[in-house]
Amino acid sequence: MRNIRISLVQLPSSAHDIALSAAHEAFPRADIVESAKMDGIVGGETLHGLDLLVLSDANPDLISQATQAVDQAGLPRWAVVILGRDTSELAETVPPEEWNPWLLARVFRSALLQHELLRENFRMRGDLKTVARRFSHDLVTPVGCINTSACVLKVMPAEDTQSIAAIIQNIEDSSAEISQLIERVSFVVRASVDPGVPIALDTGEVVAAVLKQLKAEIEKVGATIITPPVWPKVSGISKWVNVIWWNLISNALKHGGTGVHVRIGWQPEGEGVLFSVTDNGTGVTPMIEPGLFRSFDQLHATQTAGLGLSIVQRLTLLQGGRCAYKSIAERGGACFSFTLPSFKS
């Protein structure tokens, strides 16, 4: 079950206990946060759509701040419930005469469900825009290369075998680029609309399979790969976790610098596991660091060329995890990490 957080902000004593009882009734395992001011929760970590914000009668500016807030992915941050008589088109309002734990529990569940549907709608619209941009923009060059090569082949002397071979190679490279783009984009879309059911995964087996897939690339750059002696079990979807590891290790091989040295590790973190891939390259420049894990549904608005880290971000998020990057300043290099829930038998 995914985490849910309910934030109770500026509630008077007449509403506090009722709201608290309703929160426990609606979501027994929810994380309850209480704050006297909105500022106390604005900077907190977002939970990707499973945040419910409960306010008392509030001034219009506070209500506007709450209902219009977005998270790092640009999606509506909170489902908002107002206990009082203030009205808002973007929030549920419950007047004092209807305050009772049973009714408020129903309102909390309904508000959070509507919020999830709203976020899903925003995200899917963004996904469609990204797919449209990738297919209309990123395919222009390889398709143009194929068309140009075909025209050249029509008029090229048959005896010029060397030039013909070079042109055929260009066609093959462009075809591979097209196929990869279609495969990666369709994979993200299918994963998002048909999530599947997480199972117990031995991450050591997944990583071993990925290293086997990347064997040729590892040998090509002469990379040293260090892995831990034991691995934890996590709850996840095998194909997705494979793709996450493939992208992160592949990036480390590409950007690992001279004498590529890649260290793969893990450590417990809360109720999950934090995995990391560290290389000895030059790291990421501060200018592009904020957009490393840009959400797939936001790519249509950027000039970002790569899809890899956006795919990692989406697949990790769908499994209840998060991604991060940090520079290894003391010795150079980059560390990319992601979390997954621990498997509980």
Q: Same domain for 284 and 322?
A: yes
pLDDT reading at 128 higher than 60: yes
pLDDT tens digits, 159-203: 888 989 999 999 999 999 999 889 989 999 999 888 788 899 999
Q: Same domain for 12 and 105?
A: yes
Averaged pLDDT score across all residues of the chain: 87
- Kindly state whether residue 105 falls inside one of the protein's structural domains: yes
Q: Same domain for 228 and 331?
A: yes
In the prediction, which pLDDT does 43 show? 59
Which structural domain range is residue 296 located in?
199-341
- Kindly state whether residue 326 falls inside one of the protein's structural domains: yes
- Kindly state whether residue 100 falls inside one of the protein's structural domains: yes
Among candidate residues 92, 121, 150, the one where a domain is terminated: 121
In the prediction, which pLDDT does 275 show? 97
pLDDT reading at 58 higher than 80: no
Overall domain count for the chain: 3
Q: Same domain for 242 and 189?
A: no
Among candidate residues 193, 221, 236, the one where a domain is terminated: 193
pLDDT reading at 1 higher than 50: no
- Kindly state whether residue 130 falls inside one of the protein's structural domains: no
pTM of the full predicted structure? 0.81
Q: Same domain for 209 and 327?
A: yes
pLDDT tens digits, 218-248: 999 898 999 999 999 999 999 999 999 999 9
Q: Same domain for 323 and 205?
A: yes
Q: Same domain for 184 and 241?
A: no
- Three-state SS string across the chain, please? CCCCEEEEECCCHHHHHHHHHHHHHHCCCCEEEEECCCHHHHCCCCCCCCEEEEEECCCHHHHHHHHHCECCCCCECCEEEEECCCCCCCCEEECHHHCCHHHHHHHHHHHHHHHHHHHHHHHHHHHHHHHHHHHHHHCHHHHHHHHHHHHHHHHCCCCCHHHHHHHHHHHHHHHHHHHHHHHHHHHHHHHHHCCCCCEEEEHHHHHHHHHHHCHHHHHHHCCEEECCCCCCEEEECHHHHHHHHHHHHHHHHHHCCCCCEEEEEEEEECCEEEEEEECCCCCCCCCCHHHCCCCHHHHHHCCCCCCHHHHHHHHHHHCCCCEEEEECCCCCCEEEEEEEEECCC
pLDDT reading at 136 higher than 60: yes
Q: Same domain for 249 and 170?
A: no
- Kindly state whether residue 41 falls inside one of the protein's structural domains: yes
- Kindly state whether residue 204 falls inside one of the protein's structural domains: yes
- Kindly state whether residue 132 falls inside one of the protein's structural domains: no
- Which band of pLDDT confidence, cut at 50, 70 and 90, is reported for residue 343? confident
- Which band of pLDDT confidence, cut at 50, 70 and 90, is reported for residue 320? confident
Q: Same domain for 166 and 52?
A: no
Give the CATH number, domain containing residue 86: 3.40.50.2300
Q: Same domain for 204 and 331?
A: yes
- Kindly state whether residue 327 falls inside one of the protein's structural domains: yes
Among candidate residues 86, 121, 156, the one where a domain is terminated: 121
Q: Same domain for 211 and 329?
A: yes
Q: Same domain for 211 and 317?
A: yes
Give the CATH number, domain containing residue 266: 3.30.565.10
